[in-house]
Structure 1
Amino acid sequence: MFNRMLSAFGIGGPSVDTVLDSPHAVPGQPVTGQVRIRGGSSDAEIGQVVLSLVTRVEGGGFSFGHDDERGDGAEFFRSVVQQGLRVPAGQLVPVPFQLVLPWETPITAVGGSALPGMSVGVRTELVIAGARDKGDLDTVLVGPLPSQNKVLDAFGQLGFSFRGTSVGTGHLPGVSHELGCYQELAFFPPGQFAGRVGQVDLTFVATEHVLHVILEADRRGGFSSGGDTTGHLRVSHQEAQTTDWASAIDAWLTQVAARSAANPAFGGWPGHGDHHQQDQRRGGGTGGMLAAGAAGVAGGVLGGMALGGVADEFFGDDEG
């Protein structure tokens, strides 16, 4: 009885080590591996083996969920991978798992290189006699979907400079969310927009079939009211891979820089019907953003793309 009580408090109880088959992952795809549980000084009855996904941004706190008391990060997804497990004293019990990443999982690596200051990890938790024992974090490098790669590639072609990334709480207007948070990737615009556009934020919201691309430009310089201008396009993943994003983004940003606060909103994207949506300005309810200081990402982000035939007025837009 005494040994069982000590085990409930983690004294002489089982130890856990989670091993990922690969640290590289993509939203919508599974992360696989084993939770290896070694019995302690006495047999243990484990109520649940739980895996959770947590994210952290260096240089700031979190604006969603509950921060882990050890500073590991804020949890945004969890899954029970085993229930009712008996672990004999001193023996190793492996628990294979497959954890499918949500489509909205934050991107933490581009072109195989980690984004500075941003991380996502798999955390293992054993529930013994109602008490939770949180194990170590195993880092996962979450790369972009192929459709997201096309957009990032265009940012590289146009000469944007990566500034950093942030994760905030809430839901963006006109977008259905699986998670209660979203990621922004912040860029300094190309040199020709200096003094007129201060920063461009890129947000992806993906589902199995659809990719939402949201751009927010901070207007500066000769504008009477300043503020932000937001563009939003909803396309299928297939459409995203056959779109000339470089031309579309350049045309949109050129119009943002040129217009005054009195100009009307941009028109639609001809030929795309209900895929085009106008987005409202991000306002209350989306929560504070957590800026992460980060060095620039080298090179053109990803490879080249040269497709044509997209109208200049590509993104729907609302004034800030």
Structure 2
Amino acid sequence: MWKKLLSKFGIGAAKVDLVLHHSHVRLGKILEGEFWLEGGTVAQQIRKLEVALELEVHVQGKSYRRTVAIIPVASSFTIQPGERKTLPFSYQLPLHLPISRSMVRYTFVTRLDIAGGADAYDRDTIEILPPTVLEQIFAAFAELGFREKPTSGRITPYGQEFSFFPTGEFHGLVQEVEFFALVEEEGVRLHMEVDVRHGFGKERELKRELFIPIEQLRDSSAAARLIRETVEETVQAAGAFSTFGGQPLATPSSPMYRHSASHYPSAHHSHHGRHGWTGAVGGFAAGMLAGMIAEELLDDVVEDVMDDVADGLDVGDWFDGGDGFDGGDWL
């Protein structure tokens, strides 16, 4: 009797531990592990065993946490005193989630729902790695001497934005390069914004759209060459001064000059066409968390963001709906 009473308060109750085979998983791939269950001092009826995948976004000192998915594992079973059970765990990461960065974190929260007693919990942090094609983009930027900024990977109304600063040949000419990445059947389309140093202490922001075919992505040098050409053209178009001769490389009237907001993806672009935003790395508006978080949670998040963040996280476009890409499109 005394043991049963204590177990109701979690003392001597059943325990659960999710043991993952890896603490990281590539976007769209399968994460595997095992549940280790151990009975307490008395027999207990388990109503269900489930896992919640929680997303935590950090913006300007604030944290916003939402449940991305509830993964049912088992239901209605009894665990005897001291009994040990092992259950398999397997979960395929959705393609439209943002990848892990300093401001984007994920946790698996395991819950053992015990009838008539305190539930048992376990928490496991996981890292969601970028798909291979996005890593190849990162490698190409690194080959050019660009380094990812600590704030890279922030969530915007358009999706997840990555930002790099130059340490090599473009140092002194380019302040930073920001981009969104859209995965298509034949390659990856980058929507870039290049901040070019112009004159004394001034900058110009020019937008570019660059498509890198799959063949070039497999060769980091080929991908780096395409990125280099695009950045060079942007520097010339901005009329930036050469670090060698002090002469402008080009004037704004150059045919290469393009400064149009139309190169950025529209948050309301149709997601039914071949180049819809549903394939975006990190999830553009049409794919961002679509169908995974209850719509009623949206109002609370938007209120928090509008009150606390002037121009940071805007999740109003996260729930635009849309279908994901087939796993084969992600290499």
TM range (shorter): 0.5 to 0.7
**Deviation of 1:192 (Å):** 3.9
User: Matches of 1:207 and 1:46 in 2, distance apart?
Assistant: 45
* SS across alignment from 2:27: coil
**Deviation of 1:224 (Å):** 11
Q: State yes or no: 1:23 paired with 2:47.
A: no
Q: Is the 8 A contact 1:53 1:120 kept in 2?
A: yes
Q: Partner amino acid for 1:150?
A: Q
Question: C-alpha root-mean-square deviation of aligned residues, in Å?
Answer: 4.6
Q: State yes or no: 1:153 paired with 2:139.
A: yes
Q: Partner amino acid for 2:40?
A: G
Q: Which structure's relative contact order is higher, taking Cα pairs within 8 Å and 6+ residues apart?
A: 1
Going from structure 1 to structure 2, the CA distance change for 1:250 and 1:237 (only over 3 Å counts) comes to closer
Q: Partner amino acid for 1:189?
A: P
Q: TM-score of the superposition, structure 1-length normalised?
A: 0.60
**Deviation of 1:128 (Å):** 3.2
Equivalent position of 2:13 in the other structure? 13
User: Matches of 1:134 and 1:29 in 2, distance apart?
Assistant: 25
* SS across alignment from 1:103: coil
Q: State yes or no: 1:98 paired with 2:90.
A: yes
Q: State yes or no: 1:135 paired with 2:122.
A: yes
Question: Which of the residues 200, 218, 225 maps onto 1:247?
Answer: 225
**Deviation of 1:195 (Å):** 4.2
Q: TM-score of the superposition, structure 2-length normalised?
A: 0.59
**Which residues of 2 match residues 17-96 of structure 1 at below 5 A?**
17-54=17-54, 61=61, 64-66=64-66, 75-96=67-88
Equivalent position of 1:179 in the other structure? none
Equivalent position of 2:150 in the other structure? 164
Higher Rg: 2
Q: Is the 8 A contact 1:19 1:33 kept in 2?
A: yes
Deviates more, 1:143-152 or 1:119-128: 119-128
Going from structure 1 to structure 2, the CA distance change for 1:153 and 1:82 (only over 3 Å counts) comes to same
Count, aligned residues = 258
Going from structure 1 to structure 2, the CA distance change for 1:233 and 1:23 (only over 3 Å counts) comes to same
Going from structure 1 to structure 2, the CA distance change for 1:167 and 1:187 (only over 3 Å counts) comes to closer
Going from structure 1 to structure 2, the CA distance change for 1:186 and 1:170 (only over 3 Å counts) comes to closer
Q: Partner amino acid for 2:48?
A: Q
Going from structure 1 to structure 2, the CA distance change for 1:46 and 1:264 (only over 3 Å counts) comes to same
User: Matches of 1:153 and 1:100 in 2, distance apart?
Assistant: 25
* SS across alignment from 2:108: strand
Q: Is the 8 A contact 1:164 1:187 kept in 2?
A: no
Deviates more, 1:5-14 or 1:237-246: 237-246
User: Matches of 1:163 and 1:194 in 2, distance apart?
Assistant: 14
Q: State yes or no: 1:193 paired with 2:170.
A: yes
Q: Is the 8 A contact 2:162 2:178 kept in 1?
A: yes
Going from structure 1 to structure 2, the CA distance change for 1:121 and 1:210 (only over 3 Å counts) comes to farther
Q: Partner amino acid for 2:82?
A: G
Q: Partner amino acid for 1:136?
A: R
Q: Partner amino acid for 2:33?
A: G
Provide structure 1 residue ranges, at least 5 long, that are not aligned to the other structure: 67-74, 109-114, 173-181, 290-320
Q: Partner amino acid for 2:31?
A: V
Equivalent position of 2:312 in the other structure? 288
User: Matches of 2:114 and 2:199 in 1, distance apart?
Assistant: 63
Going from structure 1 to structure 2, the CA distance change for 1:198 and 1:225 (only over 3 Å counts) comes to closer
Q: Is the 8 A contact 1:44 1:86 kept in 2?
A: yes
Equivalent position of 2:109 in the other structure? 123
**Deviation of 1:34 (Å):** 0.6
Going from structure 1 to structure 2, the CA distance change for 1:171 and 1:206 (only over 3 Å counts) comes to farther
* SS across alignment from 2:112: strand
Going from structure 1 to structure 2, the CA distance change for 1:223 and 1:136 (only over 3 Å counts) comes to same
Going from structure 1 to structure 2, the CA distance change for 1:117 and 1:65 (only over 3 Å counts) comes to closer
Going from structure 1 to structure 2, the CA distance change for 1:33 and 1:143 (only over 3 Å counts) comes to same
Going from structure 1 to structure 2, the CA distance change for 1:235 and 1:154 (only over 3 Å counts) comes to closer
| Amino-acid identity (%) | 26
Normalized per residue, the structure richer in helix is 2
* SS across alignment from 1:10: coil
Q: Partner amino acid for 1:46?
A: I
**Deviation of 1:150 (Å):** 2.0
Q: Is the 8 A contact 1:30 1:99 kept in 2?
A: yes
